Chain A
Amino acid sequence: EAQVTQNPRYLITVTGKKLTVTCSQNMNHEYMSWYRQDPGLGLRQIYYSMNVEVTDKGDVPEGYKVSRKEKRNFPLILESPSPNQTSLYFCASSLRGGDNNEQFFGPGTRLTVL
C-alpha cells in the first residue's frame, strides 16, 4: 500500500530534551516536506526537500532541523524543544512535477512539550 508513515504518533516530552520524529514514504517520491498544524493558522511549512541531500526552509524553520540522506526518509529533529513547539506535525511527499504533484500526507504526530 502506498503510504507515508510517521513515528511516533503521540509524544509528550519536556523542554530541552532532544527528539526526532521519523517520516518514511514508499512511493519513490522526490519531494518531501514537514508541516505543523495549529488552530486558526492552518498548516505551515517547516522544511522541505526536493531530493537526497537537498533541503530548504519553509515559513517556520526556527527550532527545527531536517536531513535527507535517503530518498524514502525525512526525519524532523527538535534539538531543544520548547513549549511553543507543541503542535500537530505532518509529513508529506509528492512527485517532482508534471500533473501528479499533489501531496500525500502521513497520519500526523501530536507533540506536547512541557
Chain B
Amino acid sequence: AQSVAQPEDQVNVAEGNPLTVKCTYSVSGNPYLFWYVQYPNRGLQFLLKYITGDNLVKGSYGFEAEFNKSQTSFHLKKPSALVSDSALYFCAVRDNTGGFKTIFGAGTRLFVKA
C-alpha cells in the first residue's frame, strides 16, 4: 500500500536561512511525487512534482525538491527562506498505474521568522 510520511509537524527557520521540509514515501513501482502548499484559509496550491528524469526538481517560488530513490525520500528545499513562505506544506504520492488514487502526508507547518 502507498504511504507518505512527513516526520516533522513543524519546522522553524530564520529568514534568509535555507529550509528543508522532509518527506518519505512507500510505493510499489515508480512514484509520482508532489508538493503542495496551503496558505491560511486557502486551498492547496501546487509547488512541484517528480514524474521521471532529473532527481532535482525545481518549482514555484524558488522551491526545489530532491528525489532519492534509495532513501525513498522527496525533501522540499529552498536556499533562502522568506517570511511569506510560512504555510502548511503537504507531500503527496499518486498512483502511477493509470489511476488517480492519491495519498497525502499529514503536513508540515513552516514558520519563517524575520
Contact = CB atoms under 8 A, between A and B. Distances in A.
Contacts, number: 63
Contacts of A45: 101-104
Interface in A43-69: 43-45, 48-50, 56, 58-59
A92 B36 CA distance: 12
Contacts of A106: 43
Interface residues of B, number: 25
A92 B103 CA distance: 13
Nearest to A104: B46
B2 to A, nearest CB: 10
Interface in B58-91: 90
B39 to A, nearest CB: 11
Interface residues of A, number: 29
Interface of B: 6, 9, 32, 34, 36, 42-46, 49, 51, 90, 92, 94, 98-107
Nearest 8 Cβ contacts at the A-B interface: A105-B43, A43-B104, A42-B106, A102-B46, A42-B104, A105-B44, A48-B100, A31-B100
Interface of A: 4, 31, 33, 35, 40-45, 48-50, 56, 58-59, 90, 92, 94, 97, 99, 101-108
17 contacts: A33-B100, A35-B104, A42-B105, A43-B92, A45-B102, A45-B103, A56-B100, A56-B101, A58-B101, A58-B102, A92-B44, A94-B100, A103-B44, A103-B102, A105-B45, A106-B43, A108-B43
